[in-house]
Amino acid sequence: MQISIDNVQRTLMAGNSTSIGQRLAEIRRDIAAAERRFGRQPGSVHLLAVSKTQPVAAIREACAHGQQAFGESYLQEAAAKQAQLADTPIEWHFIGPIQANKTKSIAAGFDWVHSVDRRRVAERLSRQRPEQLQPLNVLLQGNISGETSKSGVTPDEVPALAAAVAELPRLRLRGLMCIPAPCDDFERQRIPFRRLRELFEALREQGYDLDTLSMGMSGDLEAAIAEGATIVRLGTAIFGPRPSPDSNKGR
């Protein structure tokens, strides 16, 4: 599917205050259509709004249009926003690379972590998860396609990491996540997603109680839904292009 960045940009530049709501509605229709097209159960694909680098006002607007799950990648930024959004029912997902010395604020401030890729990080998250909170929902990040990011465990390391994480008392292992290298071709987009689903199914056959496959972003969500995604992580498609240091220079 082609997301038209031009349209997003135009809408943002026009300062149209309903644009996030309109885009959310469009995306929900796209997801429902993909569920039908690929024989997925209606409502089985959940939308995670990736709000990294986006201002609190944009998150509030998405919230006002019924979006409840938000994903952040940078801890300091996330903590500042979470403090300002404490009055909302937002469910926070951490989706960025994890430094072992930063696990405490992830364990305390998030409901889900998508990017667990080593045992030491998992052990720290479990130890640091505050008593009064539910166990932290955890996904293991797989590195399936020799991805641009160095994060993620290779497929052959997934079973051992799953076994270790499943033992940890304050974590709840829910499934797998991946971030394949960007690619424009639908059939080729499906390949890493299919591999991740096969890994997921193999774990389920071994008896793990998993229900979540986090895969698919603004550029490849249909391929991910075709291959079994239960969470798609969309940023640009909802909020428009992320403000970057470069794009701020000219203002």
Ligand X SMILES: *Cc1c(COP(=O)(O)O)cnc(C)c1O
Of 122 and 232, which CB lies nearer to ligand X in the complex structure? 232
Considering only residues 183 to 202 of the shown chain, the ones binding ligand X according to CB under 6 A are: none
Other beta carbons within 10 angstroms of residue 75's beta carbon come to 19
Considering only residues 53 to 112 of the shown chain, the ones binding ligand X according to CB under 6 A are: 73, 95
- Of 82-90, 104-112, 123-131, 213-221, which segment contacts ligand X by CB under 6 A? 213-221
Query: How would you write 209-225 as a 3-class SS string?
Result: CCCEEECCCCCCHHHHH
Report in angstroms how near the CB of residue 217 gets to ligand X at its nearest.
Answer: 4
Of 66 and 182, which CB lies nearer to ligand X in the complex structure? 182
Axis crossing angle, helix 158-166 with helix 186-205, rounded to the nearest 10: 50
Report in angstroms how near the CB of residue 220 gets to ligand X at its nearest.
Answer: 9
- What tokens appear for 154 in the block? 């290779």
Q: Please, which residues have CB within 8 angstroms of residue 102's CB and are 6 or more apart in sequence? A: 75
Q: Does 50 bind ligand X (CB under 6 A)?
A: yes
Of 4 and 41, which CB lies nearer to ligand X in the complex structure? 4
For residues 95 and 74, the answer to whether their CB atoms sit within 8 Å is no
Q: Does 139 bind ligand X (CB under 6 A)?
A: no
- Of 77-85, 131-139, 159-167, 234-242, which segment contacts ligand X by CB under 6 A? 234-242
- Of 31-39, 185-193, 203-211, 233-241, which segment contacts ligand X by CB under 6 A? 233-241
Task: Give the separation between CA 6 and CA 41, rounded to whole angstroms.
Answer: 32
Report in angstroms how near the CB of residue 206 gets to ligand X at its nearest.
Answer: 26
Q: Does 234 bind ligand X (CB under 6 A)?
A: yes
Task: Please work out, in degrees rounded to the nearest 5, the angle formed at the alpha carbon of residue 112 by the alpha carbons of 139 and 231.
Answer: 65
Of 50 and 75, which CB lies nearer to ligand X in the complex structure? 50
Other beta carbons within 10 angstroms of residue 246's beta carbon come to 7
Q: Does 217 bind ligand X (CB under 6 A)?
A: yes
Nearest residue to ligand X on Cβ basis: 235
Of 40 and 233, which CB lies nearer to ligand X in the complex structure? 233
Residue with tokens 């026009």: 14
Task: Give the separation between CA 216 and CA 80, rounded to whole angstroms.
Answer: 27
- Of 12-20, 155-163, 168-176, 216-224, which segment contacts ligand X by CB under 6 A? 216-224
Q: Does 158 bind ligand X (CB under 6 A)?
A: no
Q: Does 236 bind ligand X (CB under 6 A)?
A: yes
89 CB-contact burial (10 Å; exposed 0-12 / middle 13-18 / buried 19+): exposed
- Ramachandran angles phi, psi of 241, nearest 5°: -60, 140
Question: By the criterion CB under 6 A, which residues form the site for ligand X?
Answer: 50, 52, 73, 95, 179, 217-219, 233-237
